Amino acid sequence: MDFKIEVNKHDIEVNKGEFLLEALQRNGHKIPTLCHIKDHFPTGACRMCVVENTTNGKLITACSYPVEEGMKISTHSERVIESRKTIVELLLSNHPDDCLYCVRNKNCELQDLSEELHVTDRRIRGVKNDYHLDLSSASLVRDPAKCILCGRCVAVCEEVMGVACIDFVNRGSKSIIGTSFNKGLNVSSCINCGQCIMVCPTGALTEKNHFAEIQDAILDPETKVVVQYAPSISISLAEEFGMEAGKDMNGVMNAALRKIGFDFVFDTTFAADLTIMEESEELIQRIVGGGKLPMFTSCCPGWVKYAEEFTPDFLDNLSSCKSPQQMMGSVIKSYFAEKSDIKPEKIYSVSIMPCTAKKFEAQREEMTHKGITDVDAVLTTREFARFIKMYGIDIEHLEPESTDSPLGARSTAGKLFGATGGVMEAAIRTAYYKLTGKELIKFQVNALRGLKGRKEAQIEIGDLKVGVAVVNGIANAKVLLEEIRNGREDIHFIEVMACPGGCIGGGGQKIGADPSAIMARMQSLYTTDMNESLRVSHKNPEIIELYKDFLGEPCGHKSHELLHTHYKVREGVML
């Protein structure tokens, strides 16, 4: 620590050059914010974080004002509280009065600040915002009337995702946040990742809801409703019910889904194993046969759409494998339907995902074959929690149940898909076995683990030395792509996840989770991998049976028909 400043008549230690907000929070002072995002350059736009510099009587924004020697700060003086209260009242003056109907009711920062600052009278009246809902996206709903212009979504879209599909439009009192030419999200460069939802303090950005369609299907006696859930769902759902972060709810989830009325329950981790079988084979064929390298994973639909829009020169580098969600949907409506003597058109397939981009992926035209769609509807983790509550299920007192079979067994390698680096680690385990006939002595590839935005390793597989890279957050991927364009040739396989941390930090996860919760989810996946015996995809007995009875061999004719797809340059993209 470099020097001390006085805060509320007590000295605290601060670092030279740091912003006042950081110093105050580190020393236990709670300061409200709306526009601020940790580790992003501050704007001071909302002014909720004002404090009083009692040495000169000025109100200053703590998020953007650096500490100074001799400072004397009051964090909750009469002027400070009145200033913050007035800001909230001004925001409420033209905000819709529909809290009871808003998906963010009881989880809204504006609502919380109103309560905290005791805003109980309407002292300021204004003309209510009257903007139209943007329902054009397959994944997201944008309600400009609820936007408070904090700018968080703009910052995350540009700085973390590297997409910049939204920005401030117009000036002064006419300012709004919108897309280019203020058109719908569906014709913007949006990749549907949902990270804007994760930082939005109000209900201005939410996911598109499929509740009604799913309920109708469950109530239809002629329809068999099946559900699958992604590897990260079981270790992130608990937080929605106030339980500890990382708690594994796998068996309890199965029981809850059956109580809701789903006829069959599957774990998408089975399809993650299937993806590894296909993707590892494709990688081997490219390396041995002189195919296009480096090969990129294709299980993240946000990354795939980004590649189609922004990096069409790399489309041939993407694996042709569908994502685990789509593979599972395809196998359910072919192999499982045949085994169970159910007509595919009588199956309604639902997936529960940590990701809003999965809603977009499910409706892609490439995911419909002969009129049969792989997946019919998608729920996020948040929506699944609301579904459980809506059906009055006491999730804390359910007896755990198993998934249905066939398609019920899974390895822990597939479970690792939930965290950044997990797809790569699972693929290395199986590729190593396929090329050498031996298992890795130690299954963990520690160089690829953790929340770091970019990780690299050189893996020796027999006589081959395979360069691998893992990136999460599209902005990190952009840097690596540019290195490859500039001639870098030592990397052969790259995993890209659009969301920070991978699926455990997906746009459909709990809003407001702190970094420690994300790490707890990741650690839970690693613990599962350590504690179970089936740790490689190629030894999953039901995967072996699926190939033997139905698919033939990885990357074979039948597999390509059901489990692989293609990508195309999006219209309007500048080459």
Q: Which residues are catalytic?
A: 279, 282, 299, 319, 358, 361, 366, 503
Q: How is residue 560 written in tokens?
A: 């390509």
**Residue 439 burial (CB count, 10 A):** 15
Q: Fill in the amino acid letter for 203.
A: G
Cis peptide bond N-terminal to 294, omega within 30: yes
Name the nearest CA neighbour of 513 among 525, 495, 527, 500.
500
Q: What are phi and psi of 71, to 5 degrees?
A: -60, 140
**Secondary structure of residue 538 in the 3-state scheme:** helix
Say if residues 413 and 536 touch (Cβ distance below 8 Å). Answer: yes
Alpha helix (H) ranges present in 508-566?
Answer: 515-531, 541-546, 557-563
Q: Fill in the amino acid letter for 122.
A: R
Beta strands in 395-551 (DSSP E): 454-461, 464-472, 493-497
How many CA atoms does the CB half-sphere of 455 hold within 13 Å?
A: 21
**Secondary structure of residue 366 in the 3-state scheme:** helix
Q: How far is CA 347 from CA 252, 264, 336, 546, 549, in A?
A: 24, 10, 10, 20, 22
Name the nearest CA neighbour of 152 among 79, 93, 202, 188.
202
Beta strands in 190-290 (DSSP E): 205-207, 224-229, 264-267
Q: What's the sign of the alpha-carbon dihedral 78, 80, 86, 91?
A: negative
Say if residues 333 and 225 touch (Cβ distance below 8 Å). Answer: no
Q: Identify the helix (H) or strand (E) that includes residue 216.
A: helix 211-219
Q: What are phi and psi of 204, to 5 degrees?
A: -70, -25
Matching residue, tokens 């659009």: 498
* Distance, first Cα to last Cα, the chain: 50
Q: Which residues pair with 226 in a beta bridge?
A: 264, 349
Say if residues 487 and 476 touch (Cβ distance below 8 Å). Answer: no
* Residue 104 to residue 427: CA distance in whole angstroms: 39
Name the nearest CA neighbour of 324 among 369, 279, 368, 376.
279
**Residue 500 burial (CB count, 10 A):** 24
